[in-house]
Structure 1
Amino acid sequence: MSVEGLSVLVTGAGTGIGRSIALCAAREGAFVTAVGRRAEPLREVADKSPGTIEAVPADVTADGAPERIVAAALERFGRLDAVVNNAGLARFGRLADTGLDELDAMLAVNVRAPAALIRAALPHLEPAHGSVVNVSSVAGTLAMPGRAYYGAGKAALNSLTRSLARELAPAVRVNAVLPGPVDTPLWHGAGMTEDEQESLRAGLLADTPMGRFGEGDEIAGWVCRLIDPEQSGWVTGALIPVDGGRTA
């Protein structure tokens, strides 16, 4: 890959897919601003690549957070070449049992925060001919009974990706990866009992032709390729499913 020397900002970088993305970019020679709500997991990520990963604890939905996050990346690395919007929130439940406050919370993290961060980073991404990668989900393309709010938010993120790809071209590329089921801590905050989690997991595996859950590194590899201007310099507006055949 040709990401060496690039300054890459990754949200939700303390655990799961975001952690894998931050470490993938660092291994390939990028400088990484790793953002997340909890300081300790971020420090653990930064300790794996001293000098190339900067831990920035922040809640992406807080007032002024996008500007502070971008400023931290610029202060540490002097430039900003790519933004990876990976931070996400999942709350599952049937419509009759799930309040609109849950919808509002998911839209704040999964749609509003990415839009705000792209907007804050744009003055720095444009002169760098940089890129944005949004980590969405196949939930944004499939019917999801019991997960309608979550799917609606990811569908909105997909639409944001494609529209901004046209709006910001040719200066900034905007793409998304759409993971299928990946075993991450996101599951544990989805508002389900253990039995409900196991039932959902069994159903997802039955609907996945590859017969297993994905791994964070499998998603991270595609994100790093989309950041790479040599491999993906002519790729924008793409929604790339990395889902074990879930959407086939």
Structure 2
Amino acid sequence: MSLDGKTFLVTGAGSGIGRAVARRLLDSGARVTLVGRRQDPLKETAGLYTDAYVLAQPADISRPAEAEDAVRTALDRFGSLDGLVNNAGLARFGPLAEADPHDLDAMLGVNLLGPAHLIRAALPALRAGSGSVVNVTSVGGALAMPNRAMYGASKAALNSLTRSLARELAPLVRVNAVLPGPVDTPMYDDLGLAPEKVENLRKDMVESTPLGRFGKPEEIAAWVCHLLDPEVSAWVTGALIPVDGGRTS
């Protein structure tokens, strides 16, 4: 990949897909700002690399001021921004009739408004460097999702934002999305469901995936980095790419 020396900001970088993306970028010689709500996991990721290449920046991206501060801090440290990976996500599963309104607001804040805040804040730098945005959404934004309706709706909205901004920001900035299927990450420990329901959910997801297993964070990270790389994806924008073991086929 031609990512050596380039600069990126990755959200949700303390674990799961975000950590896998950050590590792949750093291993390619890029400089990366790691953004997430919890400082300790960010430091754990950052600690694997020298300070010259990595910056851990705690932030709640659903708050516009914190999103803007994260971008500003990244630019102060590295001087430019070649790509933004909107990976941070929040999932709360269950019937709409039983949903906590605060959970619904929080999902929209993290899954949709957070990426919008970050793109807006990063836009001058991305335009200056003909940069790239990759949104990590979900196959839940493309499938009917009973008992996960609001989560799916928030991801469908991010898919729509991706396609609209791809046209709005062209030709200087490319905007694409990767739609993971079920990936084995810590997200399943924080769904707001009882353990037995989580276990049943995981079993159902494997059974409904043609390749018969959960994906690995590294498998999603490979596609994210592919879309960030101008050497191979310079003519790709507005794409919604399922990486889902055939779940949407």
- Indicate the TM-score class for this superposition, using the shorter chain for normalisation: over 0.9
Which residue of 2 is the match for residue 41 of structure 1? 41
Unaligned runs of 5+ residues in structure 2 are none
The residue type equivalent to 1:240 in the other structure is I
Rounded to whole Å, the distance in 1 between the matches of 2:191 and 2:74 is 30
Aligned residues: 248
8 Å contact from structure 2 (residues 88, 111) kept in 1: yes
Partner of 2:100: 99
Matched letter for residue 246 of structure 1? R
| Pairing of 1:220-231 with structure 2 (within 5 A) | 220-231=221-232
Q: Which residue is equivalent to 2:149? A: 148
The Cα offsets for residues 174-199 of structure 1, whole Å up to 9 and x where unpaired, read as 00000000011111111011000011
**Could you list the per-position Cα deviations for residues 88-138 of structure 1 after superposition, in whole angstroms to 9, with x for gaps in the alignment?**
000000111113322211000000010010000001100100000000000
1:111 corresponding residue in structure 2: 112
Secondary structure of 1:64's aligned partner: helix
| In 1: Cα distance, 2:135 partner to 2:238 partner | 11
- Cα displacement (A) at 1:63: 4.2
Give the Cα separation in 1 of the matches to 2:159 and 2:131.
Answer: 19
Structure 1 residues 55-99: Cα deviation after superposition (integer angstroms, max 9, x where no partner): 111111234012111111111111011000001000000111113
- 3-state SS of 1:209 partner: coil
CA contact (8 A) 2:60 2:67 kept: no
Counterparts of 2:237 and 2:186, CA distance in 1: 29
Q: TM-score, normalised by structure 1?
A: 0.98
Counting aligned pairs with the same residue, the percent is 61
Aligned residue in 1 for 2:14: 14
How far does residue 13 in structure 1 lie from its aligned partner after superposition?
0.2
Match of 2:217 in 1: 216
What letter matches 1:62 in structure 2?
R
Matched residues in 1 for 2:90 and 2:80: separation?
Answer: 29
Q: What is the aligned partner in structure 2 of residue 166 from structure 1?
A: 167
Larger deviation: 92-101 or 176-185? 92-101
SS across alignment from 1:2: coil
Task: Verify: 1:132 aligned to 2:136, yes or no.
Answer: no
Q: Distance in 2 between matches of 1:102 and 1:41?
A: 23
SS of the aligned residue for 2:4 comes to coil
Most deviating of 52-61 and 12-21: 52-61
Kindly state the Cα deviation for residue 145 of structure 1 after the two structures are TM-superposed. Answer: 0.6
Deviation of the 1:44 alpha carbon: 1.0
Shift of 1:210: 0.7
The residue matched to 1:32 in structure 2 has which SS?
strand
Q: Which residue identity lines up with residue 22 of structure 1 in the other structure?
A: A
Matched with 2:194 is 193
Residue pair 2:83, 2:131 contacting (<8 A) in 1 also: yes
CA–CA separation in structure 2 for the residues paired with 1:243 and 1:174: 20
Q: Distance in 1 between matches of 2:130 and 2:226?
A: 16
Distance 2:178 2:54 in 1: 22
Moved over 4 A (4+): none
Partner of 2:247: 246
